[in-house]
Amino acid sequence: MKIIILGAGQVGRTAAHHLAREEANDVTVVDKDDTLLRDLQDRIDIRTVQGNAASPQILEMAGAAGADMIVALTNSDEVNMVACHVAWTLFGTKTKIARIRAQSYTYHPALFVSTEGEAPPQQFGGFAVDVYLSPEEAVTAYIERLIRYPGALQVVDFADGRVRLVGLRALKGGLLVGQPIRAIRDHIPRVDARVAAIFRGGQSVDVGGDTVVEHGDEVFFIAATEDIRSVMAEMRKSEDAVKRVVIAGGGNIGLRLAQKLEEDNHQVKVIERDKARARRISEQLRSTIVLNGDAADEELLVEENIDSADVFCALTNSEEANILSAMLAKRLGAHRVMALVTRPAYAELMQSGPVDVAISPQTVTIGSLLAYVRRGDVVQVHSLRGGAAEAIETIAHASRGSRSSRVVGRTVEDVRLPEGASIIAIVRHGNVIMAHHDTVIEADDHVILFVADKRHVEQVERLFQA
Amino acid sequence: MLAVVNVLGSMLMLFSVTYVLPFVTSLIYRDGLAIDFVVASALCAASGLVLWATTRRHKRELRSRDGFLLVTLAWVLMSLIATVPLLLAIPGLTFTDAFFEAMSGLSTTGATVLTGLEHLPPSVNLWRAALHWYGGMGIIVLVVAILPILGVGGMQLYKAETPGPVKNEKLTPRITQTAKALWAVYALMTIACIGALHLAGMNWFDAVFHGFSTMALGGFSNYDASIGHFDSLSIELVVILFMLISAMNFSRHFIAWQQKSLRAYATDSEAAAMLWLLSVGVLGVSLFVWTSGVYEEFPVALRHVAFNLVALATTCGYATQDYAAWPIFAPIMMLMLSCYVCNTGSTGGGIKMFRTLVLFRQALRELLLLVHPQAVTPVRIGTHIVANHIVFAVLAFVVLYFATVVVLTFALLASGLDFMSSFSAIIACINNAGPGLGVVGPASNYQGLTDFQTWVCSLAMLLGRLEIFSFLVLLTPAFWKR
């Protein structure tokens, strides 16, 4: 697939990395900053074009005429919208994805019109944007889920939120810890859950009914949304629901998170360094207490009773500051601390260290992007463990012609998956079925897979191509 | 380091396939050398296999630093391997001369140490021309196009081998596709060139030989008298046309081919400058040669000057006349033009027209700054703005280029060669042009040099082809420090 990425910022760079890694994609990146581009081209096998992303001339140079997809990820919503529209009108680019941050745009879906099935340069009463992503919104929702499930490292949705995949660290005190997985049936007989993968010391462990869950394991399981809590109690001592949340950084994500949390009657405090910004967000929040100060100021934290905070979230623009203030908060007695960290190397350093959860915004965003790029009928992709593993929701199609399908009509254990990949659940006519070894896959099922090693993703996708 | 050797091994294995061409030729002409080429090919493949197999465990993604080492090693090693058929087929050839001949072939210099070229077996002759052809677009570019092993590392290699100051411009998103595109254009044009030469009166073997040699801007011929052997105006015109095409940027050819229009050439200010300079040069030197009384009639002077000047200036190095016998202004002028004329991304050598233009504009900018100290003026080539870091890189390159010329000329002088021969030999070799003046002039060749002098010239050819930086960086201590 020929893909043009507009903007070489954090998200743009991550997208380029992920997309160019797959052999079938030809990636061109457009940005104004020449140094950024040169650096990027030295690292990955892509083409770069320097210039204004919305300009027809630049888009033409980037090969928009032959491109299958354009992904507008510049930091300006307006440039993204115009670039998509220009690409459609002048070059007829089929798929156009734009990053739109401002809620004032996303509140009005009528602004964006999907051009699917239309012929260019057909015009509509809106911008020709097939899909819009809002990284901030996605990240906020992600953090909110983490707060809802104390102890979870990662929570991702499938089938419109009816099932969730949860990653967490198993700890002593969990009912299942020290016992084989099959014991879960005796503990909670009504609940249908499935352990998707276990990572011990960073290495994937083969999961079977006899596998024993050990203290310190990183466990991924899938279950219906309403059962998540009871399954989590199997893995670690259940914790009380989160009440008091302290957020460091009143930027876009911090503000949105505070708004969501105060709706759910949490006690929220936001620490913002910039006085004007603090004032502005205080006007937009109701019960939240906005503090003007430095999140790394020990006295301020103590004074605001950090020791009784259930969750401390460091969400400023500076990842180093996030890590340090989260560590400080932990030292001062915050129960659970999270930090927004963009560099994958930092995220790895932080996990299982003094910071409980490292949130990497790009892996949250990249998943929704990957779903549009992947071949086959991939509905959803979630990047897990800092991009090393993936959870995929894909559609199983009945085979065309005489060749029998390698998936449909077979039982789960008969599908020949690459190493480390497993089918964990099936969504059929809106109902979620946990995958057991004898479950038969039918045509048009949505199959949810866990792929422990990202390198095998292409093999999995090929399997599902009819 | 060992990862570099690993890639080198697979390159050698790939290179062994190229012996098919002379092998088939040998079978057709029954010159009895077919078995020699099989031996050479097997030797190449075997050494490649050993290198590859022993270092297989160290395989990893190449870094930009590895690129320089790999490219230099590859060029030296390929030249070494390419000597095998020459040594087997030509009795009495020393290793020094064989290496010179192979390096001259791969680097598309076209200087030879052999005489009686007509009497060489056709397969060996074709092997010389084939070396030109592989080296013209670049053996590394060929490897990047064919071997999918390199990934981003391919870009590093490409940058280390491709001539010209601006190397970040990819034609396609994937480096392998860019390399494939360049080779496809190159191969198509070579076929066109061979066809045109045949129509102009060459037999098929001569046409193929000179097609390879012309497109690569090499300069080997299978006649001692070079193109002069044919004494045909139409052949000379065809050769001039294809030398000019090869001296242009192949990226332009690719874009024109892709867009199916000549529009791409209209904005090529580098090619325009080349054509302008060559036209002025041809007219001026013709007038000079005519008024000096070398030729009675002006059209005859124009014909000979046009061919020999374009051939030398584009660093091809064919000859139809002994231009070294013309009054000294003419041959020196022609030799000096070879430093400047070829375009970035062409198959020719020298400083390149783009760098010359950058330097010129930079000099003008300095002059302007004397008048308007506060002026903000970008260095502009056509519509293209040249970033400052490129201007600095160009300056550094030119300094190193002339320093290399001076050092190597002194090396030849110290070995007892006369000044004119030393200087012209180094200029001709570092520009990958071919014939110099004096004892290495168009009427003779490099056979008369001592072993030491031959090695110095071989080094000059390698430095010129890799544009000095890629080789010199290996000599810096910083390169080897971890």
- pLDDT digit string, tens, across residues A332-357: 999 999 999 888 778 777 766 788 88
Task: Give A23 or B16, the one with higher predicted confidence.
Answer: B16
Give buried/exposed letters for A322-340 (b at 16+ CB in 10 A, else e): bbbbbbbbbebebbbbbbb
* Chain B residue with Cα closest to A67: B173
- A27, A34, A45 member nearest B155 (Cβ): A45
| Domain A244-359: CATH superfamily, name plus number | NAD(P)-binding Rossmann-like Domain (3.40.50.720)
**Res. A466: pLDDT tops 60:** no
The owner of tokens 């465990």 is B57
Distance CA B292, CA B329 (A): 11
pLDDT band at A160 (very low <50, low <70, confident <90, very high): confident
- Which residues in B lie closer than 8 A to residue A2 (C-beta atoms)? 173
Quick check: B446 and B112 in contact, CB under 8 A? yes
CA B98 to chain centre: 18
For chain A, residues classed under CATH 3.30.70.1450 are 151-235, 365-464
Closest alpha carbon to A417 in A157, A196, A198: A196
Q: How distant is the Cα of B389 from the closest Cα of chain A, in angstroms?
A: 11
Taking CA atoms, what residue in B is nearest to A34? Answer: B387
Inter-residue contact A213 to A198 (CB < 8 Å) = yes
Establish if B173 touches chain A: CB-CB under 8 angstroms: yes
- Beta carbons within 10 angstroms of residue A206's beta carbon: 11
And the tokens for B126?
């074709």
Q: Which residue of A has its CA nearest to B65?
A: A42
- Which ranges in chain A are annotated with CATH 3.40.50.720? 2-133, 244-359
Of the spans A295-299, A407-411, B60-64, B129-133, which averages the highest pLDDT? B129-133
A4, A45, A61: best to mutate for the B interface, most B CBs within 10 A: A45
The amino acid sitting at A343 is R
Report chain B residues whose CB lies below 8 A from the CB of A43. Answer: 152
Mutate to test the interface with B, among A5, A21, A47 (most CBs of B within 10 A): A47
Give chain B's residues under pLDDT 50. none
B258 lies within 8 A of chain A by CB: no
- B439, two tokens: 């004892």
Question: What integer pLDDT is reported at residue A403 of this predicted model?
Answer: 61
Q: How many C-alpha atoms does A280 have within 13 Å on its Cβ side?
A: 11
Q: Look at A28 and B387 and tell me if their CB atoms are within 8 Å.
A: no
Q: Where are the beta strands (DSSP E) in A185-315?
A: 193-200, 203-205, 218-224, 244-248, 267-272, 289-292, 311-314
Class of domain A365-464: alpha beta
- Asked if B170 and A47 come within 8 Å (Cβ–Cβ), the reply is yes
For residue B175, the chain A residues in CB contact (below 8 A) are: 45
CB atoms A41 and B172 under 8 Å: no
Low-confidence winner among A56-65, A272-281, A425-434 (lowest mean pLDDT):
A425-434
Q: What is the rounded CA–CA span in Å between residue B6 and residue A251? A: 50
Q: What are the CA-CA distances from residue A173 to residues A151, A170, A237, A310, B51 (Å)? A: 13, 9, 5, 20, 57
Task: Say if the Cβ atoms of A38 and B151 lie within 8 Å.
Answer: no
Quick: pLDDT tens for B223-235: 988 999 999 999 9
pLDDT, residue A462, reads 78
Classify A199 as helix, strand or coil. strand
Quote the crossing angle between the two packed helices B250-259 and B175-199, to the nearest 10°.
90
pLDDT reading at A192 higher than 90: no
DSSP 8-state symbol, A396: P
pLDDT at B458: 95
- Count how many Cα atoms sit within 13 Å of the Cα of residue A429 in the half-sphere of its side chain: 1
Res A179 pLDDT > 80: yes
Smallest Cα distance from B219 to chain A, Å: 35
Residue A402 has pLDDT above 60, yes or no: no
What are the chain B neighbours of A17 within 8 Å (beta carbons)?
Answer: none
Q: Does the beta carbon of B62 lie under 8 angstroms from any beta carbon of chain A?
A: no
Looking up tokens 């002339």 gives B402
- Picking from A65, A81, A66, the residue whose alpha carbon sits closest to that of residue A6 is A81
At B304 the pLDDT is 94
Q: Do B387 and A34 touch (CB under 8 A)?
A: yes
Helix (H) or strand (E) holding A171: none
What residue of A is the nearest CA neighbor of B167? A38
Strand partners, A367: none
- Predicted local confidence at residue A226, as pLDDT: 85
Is the CB of B172 less than 8 angstroms away from the CB of A27? no
User: B151: which chain A residues are within 8 Å (Cβ-Cβ)?
Assistant: 45
Cα gap A219→A211, rounded to integer Å: 12
**Residue A227: which residues within 8 A CB-CB, separation 6 or more?**
A188, A191, A192, A193
For residue A113, what are the β-bridge partners? A128
In which band, very low, low, confident or very high, does the pLDDT at A400 lie, cut at 50, 70 and 90? low
Which of B101, B51, B94, B50 has the alpha carbon at shortest distance from B79?
B101
Smallest CA–CA separation between B173 and chain A, in Å? Answer: 4
Residue A162 has a pLDDT of 84
A151-235 CATH fold: Alpha-Beta Plaits (3.30.70)
Interface A:B, Cβ pairs < 8 A:
34
Chain A residues near residue B155 by CB distance under 8 angstroms: 41-42, 45
- Which residues contact residue A243 at a Cβ distance below 8 angstroms, ignoring those fewer than 6 apart? A266, A267, A310
A180's CB contacts (< 8 A; 6+ apart) are: A209, A210, A211, A212, A213
The confidence score (pLDDT) of residue B353 equals: 92
Q: Is the ipTM of this complex over 0.85?
A: no
- Nearest-Cα residue of chain B relative to residue A5: B173
Would you say how long chain A is, in residues? Answer: 466
Decide if B177 contacts B254 (C-beta within 8 A).
no
Task: Identify the pLDDT of residue A122.
Answer: 78
Instruction: Report CA dihedral (A309, A313, A317, A320) to the nearest 10 degrees.
Output: 90
CB contact under 8 A, A27 and B173: yes
Within 8 A of B172 by CB-CB distance, chain A residues are 26, 47
Alpha carbon distance A346, A291 (integer Å): 28
Q: Match 């497993």 to its residue by tokens.
A: A422
CATH tag, A2-133: 3.40.50.720
Nearest chain A residue to B387 by CA: give it. A34
At A201, list the tokens. Answer: 């010391």
**SS3 for B35?**
helix
- The beta-carbon neighbor of A47 closest among B152, B156, B172 is B172
Nearest to B64 among A42, A46, A47 (CB): A42
- Per-residue pLDDT, A311: 93
Q: Which of chain B's residues have a Cβ under 8 Å away from the Cβ of A48? A: 168, 170
| Confidence check: pLDDT of A401 > 60 | no
Give A67-101 as a DSSP string. -SEEEE--S-HHHHHHHHHHHHHHH--SEEEEE--
| Contacts A34 to B, Cβ<8 Å | 387
Q: Which amino acid is at B83?
A: T
Half-sphere exposure of B7 (CA within 13 A, CB side): 29
Task: Give the Cα separation of A165 and A155 in Å (integer).
Answer: 6
Q: What whole-number percentage of chain A has pLDDT above 90?
A: 27
Cα A373–Cα A340–Cα A453 angle in degrees, nearest 5: 45
Q: Which two tokens stand for residue B372?
A: 């308007």
- Interface residue of B64, B150, B152, B383 to substitute, partner A, most A CBs within 10 Å: B152
- Residue A301, number of CB atoms within 10 A of its CB: 27
